[in-house]
A and B are shown apart, each in its own frame.
Chain A
Amino acid sequence: EVRLVESGGGLVQPGGSLRLSCTASGFTFSNYWMTWVRQAPGKGLEWVANIKPDGSEKFYVDSVKGRFSISRDNARNSMYLQMNSLRAEDTAVYYCARDGTRYIYNPPHYWGQGTQVTVSS
């Protein structure tokens, strides 16, 4: 069974930093692209970033480019999202997801339960 568990969320002041983690189990982590998706309170879903199995390719939504960095450690079955220069509009539940496998670039398939990030003074 695919299991994804996010951690690292919390309350942070504007301009601060936070590092989210996603720990995977139930599949061979090093074979899959992984994604972060977020959802602001009462709002829709926003695709944030994804990373290739070997970490050599990464993509970001424009709103986080230059501030967020996605990475992974296949030996630890873990993915990370380093978030710097945080803004109030980054307040959201952040979901970790495992991508599909049909194509070179695939959408999210399996999802974790999410971790809350709140940016406020």
Chain B
Amino acid sequence: DIQMTQSPSSLSASVGDRVTITCQASQGIKKYLNWYRQKPGKPPELLIYDASSLEAGVPSRFSGSGSGTDFSFTISSLQPEDFATYYCLQYEDLPPFTFGPGTKVDFK
């Protein structure tokens, strides 16, 4: 099975900061990676699909890049509602799919 790692596991930031999270796959997954945001006590929300495509209705401050084994996710200007946990998910080939362990973004 494909394993996913994320870094950092947590970070502290302020409103307006630029934040970048990385995700690495144990083998090549082409572009088949999603990014989700999960606010406390809520279900995840899809932000980015196919590594770099912005989901409809999602603000443009979110972006993603990468292919193969190395991916990154950036919030260009952190907003109060972005203090949450972020997960990557690989969906290359057959299920089961695997999530990264998550990155918690909290207030500095």
Is B89 engaged at the interface, CB distance under 8 Å to the other chain?
Answer: yes
Interface residues of A (CB under 8 A from B): 44-47, 49-50, 59-62, 95, 100, 102-103, 105-114
Chain A residue at minimum C-beta to C-beta distance from B95: A59
In the assembled complex, 13 residue pairs joining A and B whose CB atoms fall closer than 8 Å, in A order, are: A44-B87, A44-B102, A45-B36, A46-B99, A47-B95, A47-B96, A50-B95, A59-B95, A100-B49, A102-B49, A105-B91, A105-B95, A107-B89
B46: contacting residue among A47, A50, A109, CB under 8 A: A109
The smallest beta-carbon distance between B17 and chain A, in angstroms, is 23
Cβ–Cβ < 8 Å partners of B7 in chain A: none
Contacts known (A44-B102, A45-B44); A105 close to B94, Cβ less than 8 A: yes
Chain B residue at minimum C-beta to C-beta distance from A50: B95
A59 and B43 within 8 A (CB): no
Majority secondary structure, B binding face: loop
Q: Please, how many angstroms separate the alpha-carbon atoms of A59 and B1 in the complex? A: 13
The smallest beta-carbon distance between B94 and chain A, in angstroms, is 6
Within 8 A of A (CB), among B55-102: 87, 89, 91, 93-102
Chain A residue at minimum C-beta to C-beta distance from B44: A111
Q: Please, how many angstroms separate the alpha-carbon atoms of A113 and B46 in the complex? A: 14
Is B34 engaged at the interface, CB distance under 8 Å to the other chain?
Answer: yes
Cβ–Cβ < 8 Å partners of A61 in chain B: 96
B89 and A47 within 8 A (CB): yes
Contacts known (A100-B49, A107-B34); A62 close to B43, Cβ less than 8 A: no
B96 and A105 within 8 A (CB): no
Q: Please, how many angstroms separate the alpha-carbon atoms of A100 and B53 in the complex? A: 14
Cβ–Cβ < 8 Å partners of A46 in chain B: 99
A60: contacting residue among B45, B93, B96, CB under 8 A: B96
Q: Please, how many angstroms separate the alpha-carbon atoms of A109 and B93 in the complex? A: 17
The smallest beta-carbon distance between A91 and chain B, in angstroms, is 17
Contacts known (A100-B49, A111-B43, A111-B44); A45 close to B96, Cβ less than 8 A: no
Q: Please, how many angstroms separate the alpha-carbon atoms of A95 and B50 in the complex? A: 22
A114 and B43 within 8 A (CB): yes
Q: Please, how many angstroms separate the alpha-carbon atoms of A109 and B57 in the complex? A: 13
B91: contacting residue among A44, A45, A106, CB under 8 A: A106
